[in-house]
Structure 1
């Protein structure tokens, strides 16, 4: 496993870490025993950073992580998020009372005295134009409830605005072979400010595993069934905003580029690590076998220039025009 420094936090985290949305919910049937086994497998493989949120299973994900961390001797860094519990989810809801309440609930769920990292959870764009919200986060840090804070964003423009605030130390953003825009300008600016970057949706909701077909079906409570067009939240969170059928066509061409003994999942994750601005990719895993597939990707050598060029050509052919400029 590779380790990279998470911006100015000082944390050294695994370059491929654990995204815990799937073990909370919205990904079909998930058994707690399998989730716990997947977390243990990840830690066995060197993962020391887990990303979750208070809304993942209404606290289920946080509580499972707390259970696993109690059983391990390793130091595990846990990032959570706050804000999406708001209903309605509005900028006005990002106030002192609500944010304090959300942070205190996560402290209880994770069974810690201070949260390692709290991220504002894809707030409305207007929040990034309200300095008072970031003042509240500063105060929560001074109170010892959180060690560090950052943001999780939908759009590159939001990321660029967020890092203007001096104590924002991390940005979580969708970045994968089907969502390449963050590399254009944002990565450069983030490096200048020593911002840690968490690449989420690294496998485009499973599209980039290469295991899906036009006949693949999803359970009703799986966001890949109910949010393809943004019915529940931003459509970019599902299949990275790529049309499913077009994505399948692109995946078939990507398979032709695969090196020997490397799966498409591993190539997709290794591609992300080719960008030194990225601190870590955070794929999800519902079972130990998925965890093993994901976290072994960091052990592969860098992708060749020829492969990187081929991946970019497929992106230009299928994905760039309909997706690139939306986020």
Structure 2
């Protein structure tokens, strides 16, 4: 495994992290036994940066990770989040609460579930427009002083919010969706991240499972992806054709299409640390090998040209969930 710096903290984390959401939330086929084996395999592979949130499965994901963390705490740089309140009927656009009162409750409950005394990187999951960002970050900074949080991050925040927040306390990382299919943070947001010396932590770097050899578009009932425009109608047909051509490109290079997608992200900057999610060891091993792949300039151009041939990819979220981003 290769390693990169987490913002200006001096901490080295694996060049790809492990997104743990799907082990307990949104997707079907959950298997705690395999998920726990995947967490242990991540340690073996040197993937020391794990990402969760209190929102994922209404705390279930943190509980799952706690089983492994309690014996391996010194081996893991742990990221979690607060700010989204779980509603089973609305897994994509639930209530936001960035108040100091909810922070206090959410953080202490997360610490209990995770069986740890501190969280390395604690994010505001979504910016609460009803609470000044200075107030939220000020309250988070108090917990940094207490040693319950080591570093502060934001998720899906605008450039203006990042700048305001950083005046109150150093923001070490921004987590936002960023992939070959989602490039909206390029420009102003990414410029601010680079300007402030932050890390960018792209989630869903594999398009929520699209960047796989066997992507057919068939999704089981109960899977939250059925609610996403990219997995519906003409957008889905567009994306199936797109993935076929990307798979052909990957096969010529004798690698997996997932590895191409991750390698593309890694090529965009040394401060970019994708967190592909998986609940299976076999996919974790494929993802881990992405750090060994270096795309040439011509290959990057070819990949981006393939994407541009299929423009009808669709929005990454329905409008209700999009409205919670870039605040």
Are the aligned partners of 1:159 and 1:171 in contact in 2 as well (CA < 8 Å)?
A: no
Match of 1:224 in 2: 225
Are the aligned partners of 2:5 and 2:271 in contact in 1 as well (CA < 8 Å)?
A: no
Q: What are the residue-to-residue correspondences of 1:86-101 with 2, within 5 Å?
A: 89=94, 93-101=97-105
1:47-81: per-residue Cα shift (whole Å, max 9, x none)?
Answer: 01100001212222112212112344852111000
Post-superposition offset of 1:13: 0.6
Unaligned runs of 5+ residues in structure 2 are 88-92, 317-321
**TM-score normalised by structure 2 residue count:** 0.86
**TM-score normalised by structure 1 residue count:** 0.86
Are the aligned partners of 1:178 and 1:319 in contact in 2 as well (CA < 8 Å)?
A: no
Does 2:141 align with 1:138?
Answer: yes
Q: CA RMSD in A?
A: 2.5
Distance in 1 between residues matched to 2:313 and 2:41, nearest whole Å? 39
Q: How many residues align?
A: 307
**Quick one: structure 1 residues 160 and 172, their matched pair in 2 at CA, closer, same or farther if it must change by over 3 Å?**
farther
Distance in 2 between residues matched to 1:243 and 1:315, nearest whole Å? 13
Match of 1:310 in 2: 302
Are the aligned partners of 1:13 and 1:49 in contact in 2 as well (CA < 8 Å)?
A: yes
Q: What are the residue-to-residue correspondences of 1:285-324 with 2, within 5 Å?
A: 285-300=278-293, 302-319=294-311
Does 2:194 align with 1:191?
Answer: yes
Q: What are the residue-to-residue correspondences of 1:1-327 with 2, within 5 Å?
A: 1-72=1-72, 75-85=75-85, 89=94, 93-124=97-128, 126=129, 129-153=132-156, 158-166=158-166, 167=169, 168-214=171-217, 216-220=218-222, 222-225=223-226, 227-229=227-229, 243-258=235-250, 259-300=252-293, 302-319=294-311
Distance in 2 between residues matched to 1:86 and 1:23, nearest whole Å? 16
Are the aligned partners of 1:6 and 1:279 in contact in 2 as well (CA < 8 Å)?
A: no
Post-superposition offset of 1:193: 0.5
Are the aligned partners of 2:133 and 2:165 in contact in 1 as well (CA < 8 Å)?
A: no
1:128-180: per-residue Cα shift (whole Å, max 9, x none)?
Answer: 85421221112222232211111111x6xx24522432222210011111112
Are the aligned partners of 1:272 and 1:278 in contact in 2 as well (CA < 8 Å)?
A: no
**Quick one: structure 1 residues 137 and 73, their matched pair in 2 at CA, closer, same or farther if it must change by over 3 Å?**
closer
